């Protein structure tokens, strides 16, 4: 088992706790709930593959194991993108009040994220 990773240790510990309570799910059942192949969770814990959990996996796994999804983030690394990134066609609006003004002034910043285009 890959024991030097705190995320893997936490998941293995929680699985063990649930198993003792007789209401634990198997790793295969949890993997299926994550829409992964039945050996996925076992491979994550014992082989270290994948190296870190994707956002959608962290959220679902946290819910299944009753753990905080933030505790399932791998330390020291952040992903730039996730497969489960939600592309938006509508602009994201962020409103920031400017406190230095005597009048009520609001700065509105619009950010549009679009899918990258592939070049042949």
Domain ranges of the chain: 6-72
The model's pTM: 0.59
Quick: pLDDT tens for 28-59: 999 999 999 999 999 999 998 888 899 899 99
φ/ψ region of 75 (left if φ > 0, alpha if ψ in -120 to 50, else beta) reads beta
pLDDT < 70 positions in the chain: 1-3, 22-24, 76-120
Q: Does domain 6-72 have CATH number 2.60.40.1510?
A: no
Measured CA to CA, the distance from residue 22 to residue 77 in angstroms comes to 35
Structure tokens at 35: 């829409």
Q: Which two tokens stand for residue 14?
A: 């929680």
């Amino acid at each position: 088992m890959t024991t030097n990773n705190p995320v893997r240790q936490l998941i293995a510990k929680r699985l063990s706790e649930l198993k003792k309570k007789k209401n634990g799910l198997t790793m295969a059942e949890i993997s299926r709930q994550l829409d992964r192949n039945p050996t996925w969770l076992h491979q994550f814990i014992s082989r270290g593959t994948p190296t870190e959990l994707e956002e959608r996996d962290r959220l679902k796994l946290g819910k299944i194991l009753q753990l905080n999804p933030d505790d399932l983030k791998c330390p020291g690394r952040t992903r730039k993108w996730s497969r489960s990134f939600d592309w938006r066609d509508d602009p994201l609006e962020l409103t920031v009040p400017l406190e230095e003004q005597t009048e009520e002034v609001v700065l509105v910043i619009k950010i549009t994220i679009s899918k990258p285009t592939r070049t042949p």
